[in-house]
Amino acid sequence: MASPGSVREWHDETDVLVCGFGLAGAAAAIEAHDSDPGAGVLLLEKMPECHAGGNTRVSGQSLLISKDVEALKSYQRAMSATNPVPEDMLDVWARRMVELEPYIEARAREAGARYIHGVGWSERAAVLEYPEFGAASAVAHTATILPVPSGVWLAFKANVEKRERIRRSFDTALVDLVQDPDTLEVFGAVVSRNGIRRNIKARRGVVLCTGGFENNLGMQRDYFGLSEAYPLGSPGNTGEGIKILQKAGADLWHLRNQGQSGGIWPGFRFPGHPTAFLRQLFWQSFSWVDVGADSRRFIDETHEWQITHYKQKVQGQWIDTPHHRVMPMHMIFDETTRRHNCLVTKVMTWNTVVEKYDWSDDNATEIASGWIARADTIEELARRIGRDPAALAATVKRYNDACARKMDDEFGRAPATLQPIAAPPFHAIEIVPAIVCTGGGARRNIESEVLDHSLRPIPRLYEAGELGSMFSNPYQNGSYLTEAMISGRAAGRNAAGLPDWSREPRRAI
């Protein structure tokens, strides 16, 4: 922290300072603005304006809508049983969730956008991730705001832009908080713009909405234990919010939970693209397998793992699928799969939505780029990707034999997806573990107050969204975006409701 005594000059000031312009930051800024017509709000984003929006902008835009407080509580309690959410937090969260739909509709209306049930890019009305925990009663439906992609983000961005009292500052990173070293009360922040440090006075409060640490491999290794993992979302999510909160005296939680709740997904990553592509979720043909370090298969590849956010049930426990434990991995496929399936998902991820990388529908461009290896025989393909030819050929033969029998003894793949890898040329693409959302951060309460090591709120400090998310372990689709709204609203409303510290003589600095 920077102590008030170290501040020689305030370069700017506001009532409520919101850091990070994703959904949580947008919701916090809107709420601070609307809850007090006298409140000035400054919204900082470290990325340039064209790259704002965080993970929110490139997510699947799926929103969980619930109509039953008790069923939702019971479902979430069961999912978080291995690391329980405090009951008082769960209770208020469930009530706010059940009241959330009209708020989302209002944001869509204000932006002139259409609110719909479903997600606009899949036929499903709702994904019920864990029926055994009570998903069917807890989840009324999923919803989104059009267009696809980015509809929810675009609507909230438009809501922010309509409000003149919300000033926005891009290319501006939060680097520290100005705090009383004894009471921890927060008076403002230190930010960096074009390498120049500036002190910003926040007369009522500071809200951190700086997202996760998906794009910080060191933190993935130290805090989560993954040796390799790459973001599917914003490259701006490098975890400094967590470091700043540590320095501010916050207690931390949820740094290590199953798959960071959002799961560890199969992705592809190439030079010149710091973030990962997400592998296709909907297949037209199934003449492909995944192999791990020993060139053998390791999972039922065509099971819809996305429905449980890449968690599988082992001995009664929902744990991460083994992808991150069996590296290096390759997807091996034949010419039929190459011709009939674009290998990546285009409706979400930074590369496709923001960078607008247009992966070719028949993957020919990516073969020409050298991202996909190709050979006339499996043995030759193995040599090209540095694998043992005999081992890879044996795996493909075992799989093709299973296809002939319509019975996958090894992993129980569905018979309809047992299509042989038979049409040359054969192809291979490396798979990397890819992260949707991290979720770790400061422990907070349902009012989005950041808690210190004694579980007391740090005065005037708030946190919202996936930074310090309340979710831990199994996770229901659509919960992160709605949590960003609920926690962002609470943070904005509570910060705006505080008195101006600079008018209190004892605190003047």
Between 354 and 428, name the residue whose CB sits nearer to ligand FAD. 354
Structure tokens at 490: 């609470």
Stretch 100-119: interaction string toward ligand FAD, x if CB under 6 A:
--------------------
Rg (CA), the chain: 24
Residue 11: CB atoms within 10 Å: 15
Contact segment (CB under 6 A) with ligand FAD among 94-102, 216-224, 312-320, 480-488 equals: 480-488
Selected from 347, 403, 429, 481, the binder of ligand FAD by CB under 6 A is: 481
Selected from 154, 173, 250, 402, the binder of ligand FAD by CB under 6 A is: 173
Q: Which residues pair with 278 in a beta bridge?
A: 267
Q: Which residues pair with 452 in a beta bridge?
A: 250
- In the block, tokens 């170290």 appear at 6
- 444 part of the interface to ligand FAD, by CB under 6 A: no
Strands 12-19 and 41-44 come out as parallel
Q: How far is the CB of 347 from ligand FAD (least distance, A)?
A: 9
Contact segment (CB under 6 A) with ligand FAD among 154-162, 228-236, 360-368, 402-410 equals: 228-236
Q: How far is the CB of 309 from ligand FAD (least distance, A)?
A: 10
Q: Which of residues 22-61 bind ligand FAD (CB under 6 A)?
A: 22-25, 44-47, 52-56, 58-61
Q: How far is the CB of 211 from ligand FAD (least distance, A)?
A: 3
Residues 6+ apart with CB under 8 A from 13: 188, 200, 201, 202, 203
The H-or-E segment that residue 115 falls in is strand 115-117
Which of 283, 216, 129, 223 lies closest to 435, judged by CA?
A: 216
Contact segment (CB under 6 A) with ligand FAD among 81-89, 126-134, 245-253, 474-482 equals: 474-482
CB 298 within 8 A of CB 325: no
- 216 part of the interface to ligand FAD, by CB under 6 A: no
Q: 21 in helix, strand or coil?
A: coil
- 308 part of the interface to ligand FAD, by CB under 6 A: no
- Nearest-angstrom CA–CA distance, 97 and 91: 10
Please tell me what DSSP assigns to residue 323. G
Q: How far is the CB of 353 from ligand FAD (least distance, A)?
A: 9
Q: How far is the CB of 3 from ligand FAD (least distance, A)?
A: 20
Selected from 433, 459, 465, 492, the binder of ligand FAD by CB under 6 A is: 465
Between 56 and 395, name the residue whose CB sits nearer to ligand FAD. 56
Distances (CA, A) of 201 to 14, 93, 229, 500: 6, 31, 37, 11
Between 15 and 463, name the residue whose CB sits nearer to ligand FAD. 463
* Residue 60: CA count within 13 A, CB half-sphere: 25
Residues lying near ligand FAD in the complex (CB under 6 A): 19-25, 44-47, 52-56, 58-62, 173-174, 209-211, 232-234, 236-237, 240-241, 262, 348-349, 436-437, 465-467, 478-481, 484
